[in-house]
Amino acid sequence: NTHLTSVQHVKLCCLMNFRRKNIKKQQCEAVVGAQCGNAVLRGAHVYVPGIVSASSFMKAGDVISVYSDIKGKCKKGAREFDGTKVFLGNGISARSRKEIFSGLCELKGIGIRMTEPIYLSPSFDNVLPGYLFLQNLPSAVVTHVLHPQPGERVLDLCAAPGGKATHIAALMHDQGEVIALDKIPNKVEKIKQNALLLGLNSIKAFCFDGTKALKHKHDMTDKGIFFKYFYIHCIEGPPFSPESFDRILLDAPCSGMGQRPNMACTWTLKEVMSYQPLQRKLFSVAAQLLKPGGMLVYSTCTITLAENEEQVAWEPRIGEEGMMGAGLSLEQLRQLQRFDPSAVPLQDPDQDALRDATAEDMIRLANKDCIGFFIAKFLKWKSTSEKDPQK
């Protein structure tokens, strides 16, 4: 959160925080991103059997294999588990099994120190709240693509839980207005909580359906109704007048197939295909709310052609390379940004090589080893105010 602090200050605070907890640097690097140690202590879906001996009782210092219980079926404290699980890596237990599952609330700290993790990222959950906001790489990239400027009026059409909205406000130095919409009340409260936590005052969050965020002329035929409508909605919230925003982010509801694999997924084809019509409704509203010369960024965390390139082919043009098959030219495909987890090399990364890698090498690797994501940026070059919004 560069609104409250600098990157160098956060690095220093993180270092001091880890030192206070007596965690050595190599241990910090080894802690699994899934927080295996903490998860074990609070009984989350992590299964840790002992592999040193035939005994089911784990002791401090034992070499341990750590698995994730995919379907959440493993009972807390279970000694044997034959359900669906995924290997997370090997480590050394810092506490005995009895200590981990005793239920004593005063127990804190790492349960398993990961020595051979599959995932190399340390956990920063609940570290320096207010200074750090965890996001996937593409989720941070999309806000930079929007490139909001101080003093502008920006709309985040589907904003919950507020990660991108707060990032927009921070990039604007909290100067201007960031309107954040979501139609689920408790999600709107989450946006407000995150804005408060990050010290951002330019964010105004409203519980409102983004497909209805455009104010139509026929809604204000009676003069009395007009003034009441104007006072309630234009001053306090949506719907909004046409062409009233400098920039709009449409991080649309989607099938979410770019997220890490969910082996327990029960979606039907009909459910997956239901997102495209909704995205087009939101796209049409966003295009009409945007000022001429304004920027609209469309993004999803999915990898389907129908929700990404086909949407760009359906509605205006600009959009690093996308998938062929939607009718876009090679030049247009090069203007799209697609994050594709399938591009990750199958072989295990050389940890020694990673330590010697340049920043550019790490960014290139991170662009592959992330969630699936899609970003397209549009420039509105002509006013739409003369068109019938119903057509």
Instruction: Show Cβ contacts of residue 276 under 8 Å, excluding neighbours closer than 6 positions.
Output: 306, 307, 310, 311
On whether 161 is known to bind a ligand per the annotation, the reply is yes
- Active site members: 301
On whether 162 is known to bind a ligand per the annotation, the reply is yes
Q: Taking the alpha carbons of 214, 217, 218, 222 in that order, is the dihedral positive or negative?
A: positive
Q: Token match 């059997």: residue?
A: 49
Residue 83 · residue 73 · CB < 8 Å = yes
On whether 164 is known to bind a ligand per the annotation, the reply is yes
Look up residue 267 and give its DSSP letter: -
In the chain the first and final C-alpha atoms are separated, in Å, by 42
* Nearest Cα residue to 148 out of 169, 133, 134: 169
On whether 348 is known to bind a ligand per the annotation, the reply is no
Strand arrangement, sheet containing 153-156: 203-207, 177-182, 153-156, 245-251, 290-300, 373-379, 337-339
163-171 helix and 137-146 helix, angle to the nearest 10 degrees: 40
On whether 174 is known to bind a ligand per the annotation, the reply is no
Residue 240 · residue 289 · CB < 8 Å = yes
Rounded Cα distance, 225 and 80, in Å: 68
Region class of 130: left (phi > 0), else alpha (psi between -120 and 50), else beta = left
Annotated binding site for S-adenosyl-L-methionine: 158-164, 182, 209, 251
Annotated binding site: 158-164, 182, 209, 251
